[in-house]
Structure 1
Amino acid sequence: MIPQNLVSIILVVAALVWFSVKQTTWSPVSPDRLFRGPLILGIIGAVMVVSNGQAAAFDATDIALLLLELVAGAVVGAVIGLVAHLRPLSAEGRRSWEARNTRRPGAVEPRFEARNGWLGLTLWLALIAARIGFTFWESSMGGHLAQAGGVILLLLAANRAVRSAVILWRAPRVLSATRA
């Protein structure tokens, strides 16, 4: 196994574990930081795809399949955002946020916290399983996309970005309903 593949595997496994834990735990949602994770994942994924030279071998079919995969990730992200549980920021959530943001002057304090729960985790794991199945399907068709390790990070970035957007869209409605 070459070092680049090992690094890719470690990055993907770390992202999967981290996101799985995040699915079922309450965490403060800070709008100014909500898209930071998806942006970082997207950049790393794009760099991985381009830096290993596989992007040069992509053809129209590969690009169409990549777009299909990203749309699927975005749709699942929207559904996860819709099923996410939202609540006003708890005292524990406030302490947690303050402890992590003591050195960030001007950081916007979150007004709510969210978790996706077991349904969100199940949907997310189904997306990962679909990605694995898609890899085998695409490989059997002779595509090059399946071998690009950064594609799964692009998928996760699309999923998380749309989930974040849906949660931000839902938050004012949910918070106003809990105060009424």
Structure 2
Amino acid sequence: MKRIAVFCGSSEGATSQYKEGATALGKELAKQGITLVYGGASVGLMGTVADAALENGGKVIGVIPQMLEDREISHQHLTEIHVVNTMHERKAKMADLADGFIALPGGPGTLEEFIEIFTWAQLGVHEKPCGLLNINDYYEPLISLFNHMADEQFLHEKYRKMALVDSTPQALIEQMHSYQPPSVKTY
């Protein structure tokens, strides 16, 4: 795995554990020689994970829509930056660049990005691993929802297991390296 896209908040969250987790992920990506692909901002957990990767010798590719670039929140020290027209183009470009995906804590945008890429995996659009870095049990409600969907037969068990979960970057990336995609559902 050469590149991992990270979806995360443009805020730091309510506890320092989120920032610490983003820093640990950035460091681990750099340590393993994995390029970070992310939303291109200098603020919140986005800025934290990028700074940590860069400070530890890693490569960082940002993808930012023009409207956010115009607000001067883009990171100025990235290895590479792509300025796109829309949020849709941002997600598509990040998906094209990445070999896998990790969601750090974040708000509705982070959740939307992760759910879309997870759905694409379920549909067979890609066979890349999708992970949740469950810092401070942040993603427990989503994991419970996936379990509920599976119990109610709206999510097949093999697809529920596609959401890789761990609380440490090293263990989550290890799961991603050994990920085997399930067969695609046919009707």
Q: Same fold (TM over 0.5)?
A: no
Larger radius of gyration: 1
TM-score (normalised: structure 2): 0.22
TM-score (normalised: structure 1): 0.22
The structure carrying a bigger helix percent of its residues is 1
The structure carrying a bigger strand percent of its residues is 2
